Amino acid sequence: MQGIATLKHVAERAGVGVATVTRVLNNNGYVAEATRARVLAAVEETGYRVNSLARNLKRQRSDVIGHLVRSTIPNPFFVKVARGVEDEARARGFTVMTVNVRGDREEERLGVETFLGWRVAGLIFSTPVSSRNVAFAVARGTPVVQVERPRSALGHRITVRNRPAAAEAMEHLLALGHRRIAYVGGAPGTQRNETAGYVETERFGAYQAAMEPVGPLDMGLVRFGLVYGPDQTTAQGLGYQAACEWLDAPDPPTAVMCSSDILAAGVLQAAHERSLRVPADLSVIGFDDTLAEYLSPLLTSIRMPARRLGRAAVGLIVDQIASGSGEGRHLELSAEFILRRSTAPTPR
């Protein structure tokens, strides 16, 4: 066939009208199975390809969902969220395009503008940097979902109840007899780490509340840092450095509560270098359950519903498209405490 195949070419090859071809390609309206089969065969024979740009211009939206992420590669948690987004989008007939904005406001704004220019069906922000960028997208009528760390009340939000599971982890350590329990994680609600404020406040808040009956909080056993930096060693290095200081001190902790599995990996490394046995000499708990099954010993951790977060985000976008309503919804999911082999009664 010479040139680029058109709908007319497909219709002539299948022996049907152009309208019938359109119904088959859009899966819209009744078409007899035998006719559908002839049309699909004609599409294959002619090499016809849907002109997505023209279709998007006509419908004022595409079948693409834009996903803005921060540092997908360094943290396995965000990889799992992205997988959930892709799985659900594919199941619902959408394609996902992902942009890593690396924690930069201007990169995020450029990503939003690019996606809006492509008339995406919706936007998903994983750990957004700027509430202004969220507002910018919402103001243009695009369905927007903020995942796990909302920076704005606009659009849809999906969060995880971190505190109950973190409290359960702390109760577990206290029941084992631990009283000198250290904590390492992102700073809760500080200006420097504002995007992590919600999650880190929940996690550190559970630690702080659990330690109140024990006595005045020893801030020497608390280390804050940037745990979602552009380099994977940032988080693991923070856990390692904090553990080195604590374990070399005259009165080291008997347990460490970490706000991510990557941080816990750093703590395990420091303990190993000092020939300390985990959990006989030191109990360690992680958070997010991304590396727990790959560490030695198997890490006690708190499982975050990462893939469910991604799937739910796509569901909210599709629901808004179907209903035409721009009213934002807030979904809350639960985390789960997973007991493995990295915790034991406090050493004598």
Q: Which residues of the chain have pLDDT under 70?
A: 1-3, 27-28, 50-61, 71-74, 128, 189-197, 226-234
In our burial notation (b when 16+ CB lie closer than 10 A, e otherwise), range 46-70 reads bebeeeeeeebeeeebbebbbbbbb
CATH topology for 161-304 is: Rossmann fold (3.40.50)
CA–CA gap between residue 258 and residue 268 (Å, rounded): 11
Q: What is the pLDDT of residue 44?
A: 85
Q: Which CATH number does 62-160+306-334 carry?
A: 3.40.50.2300
Q: What is the pLDDT of residue 130?
A: 81
pTM for the model stands at: 0.78
Q: What is the pLDDT of residue 85?
A: 95
- Check if 7-50 and 62-160+306-334 are the same fold: no
For the stretch 1-25, pLDDT in tens is: 445 778 888 899 999 998 888 888 7
CA–CA gap between residue 98 and residue 89 (Å, rounded): 12
Q: Where are the domains of the chain?
A: 7-50, 62-160+306-334, 161-304
CATH topology for 7-50 is: 434 Repressor (Amino-terminal Domain) (1.10.260)
For the stretch 152-163, pLDDT in tens is: 788 999 999 999
Q: What is the pLDDT of residue 336?
A: 96
Residue 348 structure tokens: 């004598």
Report yes or no: 116 and 65 within 8 Å, Cβ to Cβ: no
Q: What is the pLDDT of residue 70?
A: 76
